[in-house]
Amino acid sequence: MRPRFTYSRWDGTQQGFDLDALSVLDQITDDLLYHGDINAALRRLMNQGLRDRDGNHSAGLRELLKQIRQQRGDILERSDLGGVYAELNDALNDIVDEERHAVDRARAEAERSGDERRAEAGRQAADDRQFRLDMLPNDLAGKVRELQAYDFESAEAQRRFEELLDKLRQQLMQQTVDQMSSAVQNMSPEQMARMKDMMAALNEMLERRQRNEDPRFDEFMEQYGDFFPENPQTLDELLEQMARRMAAMQSMLNSMTPEQRAQLQQLSDQLLEDMDLRWQMDQLGRNLQSMFPQMGWDQSYDFEGGDPMGMAEAMQAMQQLGDLDQLEKMLGGAPSPGALAEADMDRVRDLLGDDAADSLQRLAELAKMLEDAGLANQKDGRLQLTPKGLRQIGSNSLRDLFGALSKDRAGQHPQHRRGQGHERSFETKPYEYGDPFNLDLQRTIRNALRRSTGTPVRLRADDFEIEQTEHMTRTSTVLMLDLSQSMMIRDNFVPAKKVTMALHALISSQFPRDYLGIIGFASVARELKVAELPEVGVDVQWGTNMQHGFALARQMLNRQRGGTKQIVMITDGEPTAHIDPVYGVAFNYPPTRETVEATFREVVRCTRDEVRINSYVLDVNDYLRAFIEQLASINRGRVFYTTPDRLGEYVLVDYLDNRGTRTHRHAG
């Protein structure tokens, strides 16, 4: 069956993010050539973000970290932590006011009874209650303590007070267990006792783990799982959840004034008066703090807003701030994309939104995407390019450099000379003695008919026309890449590496019979393998040793048989080093006569072996120009004065259009 497609009008929502491994490698090609390390290039891409084929942008770590800081700033600038006490004070004051009204109503009712003794007793009881209410302490803990011992006149006020205490107990217990747990919704004596048993069992489980024994986590969850509706699957997951809440509670205490902190501590001790439960909670807190020191137990925040938060809101804000801090540390310290996979994407979605979570997910999958495509693999904990990845880097470089060139230039080794070969040029010529007899029958008969009509057609020698074939040559090339520090300082190094990768890609794909060797030269010269190129950096030793480079290149070319032999040298400096047969590497700046003469002696040897030297010169100065011109005069090679952005065009076009004539080109 033929595939069926359905179409709908674009409404702005049908936009996806289309990214594959080749797109990723394309985006890091220049950075990879600059840093010489795919891991460093990926870290840079992680920081700046991604682009898909359509140019859509996905946030990088820099943007996500900015979003985290903005989210934290919004909470701190909007909220007032003092609202925790304002909420409790307001609730207690409302209860006290209701109790005062009830006391006044009881006094009035006693006085209206007509019974003087009852009226006197009512007045005395009312005065006593009003006096106790007037004498309530100003601090929350003291006010709660006195009201717990107070004999309420109003049943409604007493009910509201007990409900407030239960709510406060629940909120204080929520620093340990999940706030949605039904087990803390009713802090009855029985529930308090069960909570204490759960804490004791949890501490025992931690002690068993410390003794390298089975902690019996499944047994614990079977008995106390209703305290944890998040349904943690492992002990580590359960402990991390509890540590996050307890650290948030500690951060809230750290963020309060000393007076506020003391009041909340007293209030907590009052409401959770069971000393054994208090001890179990403190013991759990100490254990979790030692197990999860990164949770920010010492963290405090400066709330500057005017929007008061209640206890529940404050706890939620503190946990959100703690999660933002943890996410910021994790993102800021991520050494590789794989490390980002440790982030809780659901929590990221809650904190920063869907777009941020999707962007982080894409960043986390970068390395895996390259590995799955066979472009990179892991070795000794680090990512490295595979042969397929190396070829793709070369193809990317070749595509970038050929982007502005006409397509009909690629894939040819044209020469002025015509001769015997196997590539048809689809051109013909009159036959001359000594030519290969590749007869073009159609044109030959046409020539005969043009001379005389009728049949039979009679052919003469001057009617013969033959097909021409292009004479395809084999070229052996050694590319000499300047690795001196000036190449990096002047931003010439990456374009030069890119040209080297592109030339290798061109030769291996279009001219597999051609030979390409690569030499890097700085204080000394050395042969480079293609697999090394992405990681090659400049030499830390000073010097531009062309003499040693020419010597190695000539030796490499002498091992090749037949065809054209050439050296392609990319440099931005004059020779400042040579190999002295006695003292080894000799470096001098400015160049000495000995270094220049040693270099020219090697140029003469190349010339004698019919090796042409084509020089591509960046950042030319008068001295360098004079040296290069003399080199070309000795060797009869070509000189190209160009710029980094035109270097690739000059090298690749010259390789394709090499006609063996001496020319001088200048970048336009």
User: Which CA distances in Å does 87 have to 159, 164, 245?
Assistant: 18, 11, 21
Beta bridge partners of 57: 51
What is the predicted pLDDT for the residue at 665?
A: 41
- pLDDT tens digit sequence for 284-303: 778 888 888 877 778 888 88
Amino acid type, 248: A
> Bigger pLDDT: 570 or 432?
570
Residue 324 and residue 295 share a domain: no
What is the predicted pLDDT for the residue at 23?
A: 83
Give the number of residues written for the chain. 668
Residue 206 and residue 218 share a domain: yes
Residue 3 included in any domain: no
Any idea which of 16-20, 333-337, 375-379, 644-648 has the lowest mean pLDDT? 16-20
Residue 510 included in any domain: yes
Q: Is the pLDDT of residue 14 over 70?
A: no
The strand order across the sheet containing 475-482 reads 525-528, 515-521, 475-482, 564-571, 612-618, 639-642, 664-666
Residue 4 included in any domain: no
What is the percent of the chain where pLDDT is above 70? Answer: 84
DSSP-derived letter for residue 297 is: T
- pLDDT tens digit sequence for 207-230: 888 888 888 888 888 888 887 777
β-pairing verdict for 465-470 and 418-430: antiparallel
Domain ends where: 297, 322, 352?
A: 352
- pLDDT tens digit sequence for 609-656: 999 998 888 888 888 889 999 999 999 888 888 888 777 777 777 777
Q: What is the mean pLDDT of residues 125-145?
A: 84
What is the predicted pLDDT for the residue at 602?
A: 94
Q: What CATH number is given to the structural domain containing 492?
A: 3.40.50.410
Cβ(463)–Cβ(553) below 8 Å: no
Cβ(311)–Cβ(342) below 8 Å: no
Residue 12 included in any domain: no
Residue 617 and residue 495 share a domain: yes
Q: What is the mean pLDDT of residues 160-177?
A: 71
Residue 318 included in any domain: yes
The DSSP H or E segment spanning 503 is: helix 493-510
Q: Is the pLDDT of residue 463 over 70?
A: yes
Residue 94 and residue 45 share a domain: no
> How large is the C-alpha radius of gyration of the chain?
42
Residue 569 and residue 457 share a domain: no
What is the predicted pLDDT for the residue at 631?
A: 92
What is the predicted pLDDT for the residue at 427?
A: 67
User: Residue 378: phi, psi to the nearest 5?
Assistant: -90, 135
Residue 562 and residue 433 share a domain: no
- pLDDT tens digit sequence for 59-73: 888 898 999 899 888
Instruction: Tell me the H-state helices in 333-482.
Output: 337-340, 345-352, 354-364, 366-372, 387-402, 441-451
How far is the C-alpha of 190 from the C-alpha of 129, rounded, in Å? 32
Long-range pairs of 252-257 with CB within 8 A, sequence gap ≥ 24? 252/81, 252/84, 252/314, 252/315, 252/318, 254/298, 254/299, 254/300, 255/81, 255/300, 255/301, 255/302, 255/303, 255/318, 256/81, 256/84
What is the predicted pLDDT for the residue at 402?
A: 64
Residue 433 and residue 489 share a domain: no
Full residue range of the structural domain in which residue 242 is found? 84-312
Burial class of residue 416, CB neighbours in 10 A (0-12, 13-18, 19+): exposed
Domain ends where: 470, 495, 510?
A: 470
Residue 379 included in any domain: no
Q: What is the mean pLDDT of residues 402-419?
A: 42
Q: What is the mean pLDDT of residues 250-261?
A: 76
Residue 318 and residue 294 share a domain: no
Give the 3-state DSSP-derived string for 232-270, with helices as H, strands as E and coil as C. CCCHHHHHHHHHHHHHHHHHHHHHCCHHHHHHHHHHHHH
How far is the C-alpha of 180 from the C-alpha of 189, rounded, in Å? 20
β-pairing verdict for 564-571 and 475-482: parallel
What is the predicted pLDDT for the residue at 545?
A: 93
Which structure tokens are listed for 487? 């190449």
- pLDDT tens digit sequence for 411-426: 443 333 333 333 444 5
What is the predicted pLDDT for the residue at 182?
A: 43
> Bigger pLDDT: 402 or 578?
578
Residue 422 and residue 278 share a domain: no
Residue 269 and residue 317 share a domain: no
Closest CA to 599 of 537, 550, 564: 550
Q: Could you tell me what percentage of the chain is helix, strand and coil, using 3-state DSSP and rounding each to the nearest 5?
A: 55, 15, 30
Amino acid type, 402: F
How far is the C-alpha of 17 from the C-alpha of 53, rounded, in Å? 8
Confidence of residue 553 (pLDDT cuts 50, 70, 90): very high
How far is the C-alpha of 592 from the C-alpha of 575, rounded, in Å? 9
Q: Is the pLDDT of residue 255 over 60?
A: yes
What is the predicted pLDDT for the residue at 517?
A: 92
DSSP-derived letter for residue 513 is: T
DSSP-assigned states of every residue in 87-118? HHHHHHHHHHHHHHHHHHHHHHHHHHTS-HHH
> Bigger pLDDT: 456 or 631?
631
CA angle 62, 64, 70 (to 5 degrees): 105
What is the residue-averaged pLDDT of the chain? 79
User: Which CA distances in Å does 365 have to 24, 54, 362?
Assistant: 11, 19, 5
Which structure tokens are listed for 275? 């000393």
Domain ends where: 258, 282, 312?
A: 312
Q: Is the pLDDT of residue 82 over 60?
A: yes
Residue 592 included in any domain: yes
DSSP-derived letter for residue 591 is: P
Residue 654 included in any domain: yes
- pLDDT tens digit sequence for 515-546: 899 999 999 999 999 888 888 888 878 889 99
Residue 645 and residue 536 share a domain: yes
Give the count of domains, the chain.
4
What is the predicted pLDDT for the residue at 276?
A: 64
Residue 68 and residue 174 share a domain: no
pTM (2 d.p.): 0.62
